[in-house]
Amino acid sequence: MEVNGTSGSSSVDFVARDQIGVAGMTSDDFLKLLITELQNQDPSEPMGNEQILSQLSMMRNLESDLELGDALKAITVNQQLTTAAAYIGRNVTGTDAGGNEISGHVQRAYMREGTAYLEVDGIQLNLSDVSSISEA
């Protein structure tokens, strides 16, 4: 016996997982996926309440993990800037992007693209490349 679909055509936009990953999924994306799954399930073996609750629980956990990750990233950025600001007025030694040793007086600290930098006598120095600090 042949069984034909009972609903009209529907379109679903697919994006490769490696393009956005799980972290790129929003609650809306997950809900759309769940609704599509419910609409296209086998009527002779419908999804049970336990499965639906399990998937909703997974969505909430994913959302919580993403929020926690964002909060930790913000804390890390703030900590880097606080550390960099503490170096203002001090002398530091470090290695610049070209591998050259730089020593000098820190005039300012700033963030660019989530990374803390120091300006040492007019030269940009990544905070993570500082090897020593001393009083001016």
Question: Do 92 and 51 belong to one domain?
Answer: no
Residues 99 and 130 in one domain: yes
Does 55 share its domain with 99? no
| Residue 49 located in a structural domain | yes
Q: Which residue has the higher pLDDT, 17 or 82?
A: 82
> Is the pLDDT reported for residue 27 higher than 80?
no
CA dihedral for 23, 26, 27, 31, sign (positive or negative):
negative
Position 7 scores a pLDDT of 39
Domain stop point among 55, 79, 103: 79
Q: Pick the last residue of a domain from 53, 79, 105.
A: 79
Portion of the chain with pLDDT greater than 90, in percent: 42
Q: Are residues 100 and 70 in the same domain?
A: no
Query: Same domain for 66 and 113?
Result: no
Please state which of the ranges 2-6, 31-35, 115-119 shows the lowest mean pLDDT.
Answer: 2-6
The CA-to-CA distance between both ends of the chain, in Å, stands at 88
Domain check: are 75 and 92 in the same one? no
Residue linked to tokens 């936009």: 13
User: 116: domain range?
Assistant: 88-134
Confidence band of 129 (pLDDT split at 50, 70, 90): very high
Is pTM beyond 0.75? Reply is: no
**74 and 98 assigned to the same domain:** no
Rounded average pLDDT over 87-106: 93
65 and 47 both lie in a single domain? yes
The residue among 3 and 121 whose pLDDT is bigger is 121
Domain harbouring 123, CATH code: 2.30.30
pLDDT band at 37 (very low <50, low <70, confident <90, very high): confident
Element housing 92 (H / E): strand 91-95
If pLDDT is split at 50, 70 and 90, which confidence band does 10 have?
A: very low
